């Protein structure tokens, strides 16, 4: 850290920043043992069809139950794991656990939703995306659990794909050809090179929460409405589905549904939670 801060130049500058760096350092060092001791767990947040509110699937969101610091969100440790490479075994564990869980939901509720079996969304960071074992690991997990490739959606961010040449995109393309869905997460926050979309093996756009937030007040900003309308129409013309994240109110849900978005996720429907939550939501649907 001292090096990246420019030697000792900032030595006395900011005690708080130092404390944060020490915590980061400590967390980074603790990651491997935490994975071994099973301190990570996954919360699942439902994705619903905007049309009728039925459950479409769930996104897996990892957390760390730290013995001293309590439960830490992914923003606290994913960047650290990404930096040290621990993201590869951690991400493999998340995917394995999520795929197993999704299969368990499906077996418990074979026809729980009209839209077909429940799906599972798993986030991939750039290092995972470009790790040579990605395709083989994924295939192995799907085969071992019996989950259909079409029930798995891998979420990657635009920034992870920006500048990727065809060689780098090959594994993702292979997965897409097998039937795995690829979602562009946080869409609209990066460079959003729309022409680039044609080149990417993507089947879902996840509109970033910032768009949802601008639908907070009604009537929403007319410019934002135009932008979302444009994105939805472009996405649909390319046969991509549109998911919106961060839906916190019924008014937002109504507005985004009117604008043609397909699926949604947010506190309005449910916060991320234990896997049982999805069981009960799926059961409610089936009634």
The reply on whether position 39 binds ligand C2E by CB under 6 A is no
Residue 65, phi-psi category: left (phi > 0), alpha (psi -120 to 50), beta (remainder): beta
Beta carbon nearer to ligand C2E, 181 or 245: 245
The reply on whether position 61 binds ligand C2E by CB under 6 A is yes
SS3 232: helix
* Residue corresponding to tokens 């729309």: 194
Select from 248, 249, 251, 273 the one that contacts ligand C2E (CB under 6 A): 248
SS3 56: strand
Rg (CA), the chain: 20
Q: How far is the CB of 265 from Mg ion (least distance, A)?
A: 8
SS3 71: strand
Q: How far is the CB of 6 from ligand C2E (least distance, A)?
A: 29
CA dihedral 237, 243, 249, 254 (to 10 degrees): 30
Which helix (H) or strand (E) segment holds residue 92: the answer is helix 87-108
Select from 46, 57, 117, 266 the one that contacts ligand C2E (CB under 6 A): 266
| Subset of 86-105 contacting ligand C2E (CB under 6 A) | 91, 94
The reply on whether position 79 binds ligand C2E by CB under 6 A is no
Beta carbon nearer to Mg ion, 55 or 183: 183
End-to-end, the C-alpha distance of the chain in Å comes to 56
Q: How far is the CB of 263 from ligand C2E (least distance, A)?
A: 13
The contact set with ligand C2E (CB under 6 A) reads 45, 61-62, 73-75, 78, 91, 94, 123-125, 155, 185-186, 245-248, 265-267, 272
């Amino acid at each position: 850290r001292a090096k990246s801060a420019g030697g000792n130049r900032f030595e006395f500058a900011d005690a708080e920043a130092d404390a944060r760096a020490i915590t980061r350092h400590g967390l980074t060092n603790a990651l491997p043992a935490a994975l071994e001791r099973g301190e990570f767990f996954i919360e699942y947040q439902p994705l619903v069809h905007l049309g009728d509110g039925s459950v479409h699937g769930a996104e897996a969101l990892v957390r760390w139950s730290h013995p001293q610091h309590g439960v830490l969100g992914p923003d606290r440790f994913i960047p650290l794991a990404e930096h040290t490479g621990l993201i590869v075994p951690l991400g493999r564990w998340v995917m394995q656990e999520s795929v197993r869980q999704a299969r368990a939901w499906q077996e418990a509720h074979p026809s729980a939703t009209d839209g077909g079996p429940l799906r599972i969304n798993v986030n991939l960071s750039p290092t995972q995306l470009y790790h040579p074992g990605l395709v083989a690991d994924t295939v192995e997990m799907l085969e071992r659990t019996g989950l259909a490739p079409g029930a798995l959606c891998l979420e990657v961010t635009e920034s992870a794909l920006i500048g990727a040449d065809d060689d780098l995109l090959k594994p993702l393309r292979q997965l897409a050809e097998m039937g795995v869905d690829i979602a562009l997460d946080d869409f609209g926050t990066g460079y959003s090179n729309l022409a680039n979309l044609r080149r990417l093996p993507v089947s879902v756009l996840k509109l970033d929460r910032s768009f949802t937030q601008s639908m907070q007040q009604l009537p929403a900003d007319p410019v934002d409405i135009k932008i979302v309308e444009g994105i939805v129409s472009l996405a649909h013309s390319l046969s991509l589905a549109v998911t919106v994240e961060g839906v916190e109110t019924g008014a937002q849900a109504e507005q985004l549904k009117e604008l043609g978005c397909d699926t949604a996720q947010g506190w309005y429907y449910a916060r991320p939670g234990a896997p049982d939550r999805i069981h009960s939501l799926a059961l409610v649907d089936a009634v």
